[in-house]
Amino acid sequence: MLDELYSVAGSAFAVGNIAWILFGVTLGYLVGALPGLGKGTATAVAIPLTFYLEPLSAIAFLVGISKGSTAGSAVSAILLNTPGEPSSTPTAMAGYPLARAGKAQKALKMGLFASVLGDLFSTVVLILVAQELAEYALGIGPVELTAILAFSMVFIAGLSGRSMIKGLIAGLFGILISCMGLEIETGSPRLTFGLIELYDGLPLIPVAIGMLALSEMMIQIGQRQRLADEADLLKGSSKREDQIVTLADWKNCIRPIVRGSLIGTVVGILPGLGASVGSFLSYGAERRASGRGADFEESGAIEGVAAAESADNAVVPASLVPLFAIGIPGSVIAAILIGAFTIQGITPGPLLFLENKDLILGVYVSMLAASVMLLFIGYFGQNMFARIVRISPALIMPIVVFLCCIGAYLQGGGTFGIGVMIVFGIIGFFSKKYDFSFVTFLIGFVIGPSFELSLRQSLGLVTDLPELLDHPVAIVFAVLAVVGVWRLTVLQRKQMAEMAKAETN
């Protein structure tokens, strides 16, 4: 593998490519640091730019943005108690009390180191695992693929929200919406309402921008006063030990970082779990291990920051494993990357390693380079990013809405794309407010065409139920899907009951 990576290092380290990664990481860090903006928004808005880039630079740029914004979201979490996205909430819980005690610099530095280590570890796992998995995936037929996709949808629906029913509705709605356009077998229009613009189906990028970015802006603009107020509560400190990461801090944090990186990587590989599950699991494990109880949040804990950030950042590269190996997007970022691959005429999945091996190896090298750049940009730009979080939301959010419109216009066939963005912005707003997982919707929308194709092929291959016995892998996944619905529903009910109990107490 090392020889293969070395062979593509020339193209990955070309000045143009490095410049795009650097730009991506910086932009991502900047957007991530801004309160209320997360990696989904950053990546979705940036996609239209990649239309004009070489495939390697395009993917590397977007991966740079997602890595940068994941790490950058710790800045607003620690300084303003306003996580850029839900996965940074544990960072805010452990880091904001430190910032109020004058130890913001220390918390930010440890958050950055943990982010880079988690990200680097997960990238190495991606490099080692994805190709091996893809070789197995090449032997998968349509019947097995249908069962795997159905299982993935159930898994994602059950884990990305609080309600299995709502998750399944969101996923099915995504698949239903993906049916719009010319039907694959007969070529006849389906659910197009006479609109020629819909013959190719709904464009992914305006849908993603609407669901992720515009809906988020609608919510955040309504919360602008709270965002502005948080910045006034910070305290400074002149003590040097409050501003640096000491050897004692490293001794305390190395175990949570290792544990967090492992948790984040495993969570990332499993489709649908997402960064929030990773960071909360890792934070919870460290909180229990510390034995400090409620003091962990009251006084703040640098170990908590390290645990949450390492897991949060480990999820992003690991979530590309199912995308590269099987073609299933396991996260929002992976779903958006499918749009970028499609723009470049590339289909993610096991054939990627046969048809575009140099590209994928180049992406690996670029990801490693992005991890190193993340360290430098985060470390040397820390003071600048700390100032940026104090910029008034009234200046930032109109700019983001403007960029959303440009992105939807360029990738959605003109003003039609903006119309699509508005419609899905409204749907995204309600799905976020009423807890219908927009992640499941987007993944359903992205895998819908593959699911339909494999379902049709399966129905042609399996005409009688006993013929299913020739496909044991499909049976296993079908059973797992049914068991998954049952187990995940039970689990969610337990969690809801515990939450209700905690609220009563």
Question: Does 195 sit near another protein (CB under 8 A)?
Answer: no
Least Cα distance to 328 among 245, 240, 255, 268 occurs for 268
Least Cα distance to 441 among 162, 160, 39, 220 occurs for 160
Nearer to another protein, 398 or 472 (CB): 398
Least Cα distance to 454 among 486, 477, 480 occurs for 477
Rounded to a whole number of angstroms, the minimum distance from the CB of residue 62 to another protein is 17
- Quickly tell me which residue has 């299995």 as its tokens: 164
Rounded to a whole number of angstroms, the minimum distance from the CB of residue 16 to another protein is 14
Number of residues that bind another protein (CB under 8 A): 61
Nearer to another protein, 221 or 351 (CB): 221
Residues between 39 and 98 that touch another protein (CB under 8 A)? 52
Question: Does 495 sit near another protein (CB under 8 A)?
Answer: no
Q: Structure tokens of 418?
A: 């903006």
Least Cα distance to 231 among 425, 6, 397, 80 occurs for 80
Q: Are 338 and 118 in contact (CB under 8 A)?
A: no
Q: Structure tokens of 44?
A: 């979705």
Rounded to a whole number of angstroms, the minimum distance from the CB of residue 11 to another protein is 22
- Supply φ then ψ for residue 437, to 5 degrees: -60, 115
Alpha helices (H) along 179-246: 204-208, 215-222, 224-230
Using the contact rule CB under 8 A, the part of the chain among 32-40, 238-246, 311-319, 452-460 near another protein is: 452-460
How does DSSP assign 322-388, residue by residue? HHHHHS---SHHHHHHHHHHHHTT---STTHHHHSHHHHHHHHHHHHHHHHHHHHHHHHTHHHHHHH
Question: Does 461 sit near another protein (CB under 8 A)?
Answer: no
Question: Does 347 sit near another protein (CB under 8 A)?
Answer: no
Site for another protein (CB under 8 A): which residue of 133, 218, 351, 476? 218
Please, what is the angle between helix 302-318 and helix 274-290, to 10°?
A: 150
DSSP bridge partners of 49: none
Site for another protein (CB under 8 A): which residue of 192, 243, 252, 342? 192
Question: Does 128 sit near another protein (CB under 8 A)?
Answer: no
In whole angstroms, what is the distance from residue 68 CA to residue 76 CA?
A: 13
Question: Does 151 sit near another protein (CB under 8 A)?
Answer: no
Site for another protein (CB under 8 A): which residue of 97, 393, 407, 484? 393
Residues between 404 and 433 that touch another protein (CB under 8 A)? 405-406, 409-410, 415, 418-419, 421-422, 425-426, 429, 433
Site for another protein (CB under 8 A): which residue of 10, 222, 293, 472? 222
Residue type, 368: L
Residues in the chain: 505
Nearer to another protein, 231 or 254 (CB): 231
Question: Does 112 sit near another protein (CB under 8 A)?
Answer: no
* 345 alpha-carbon distance from chain centroid: 22
Residues between 224 and 243 that touch another protein (CB under 8 A)? 224-225
Chain positions contacting another protein, by CB under 8 A: 52, 163, 165-166, 168-169, 172-173, 175-176, 179, 183, 185-186, 188-193, 214, 217-219, 221-225, 392-395, 397-399, 401-402, 405-406, 409-410, 415, 418-419, 421-422, 425-426, 429, 433-436, 448, 451-452, 455-456, 459-460
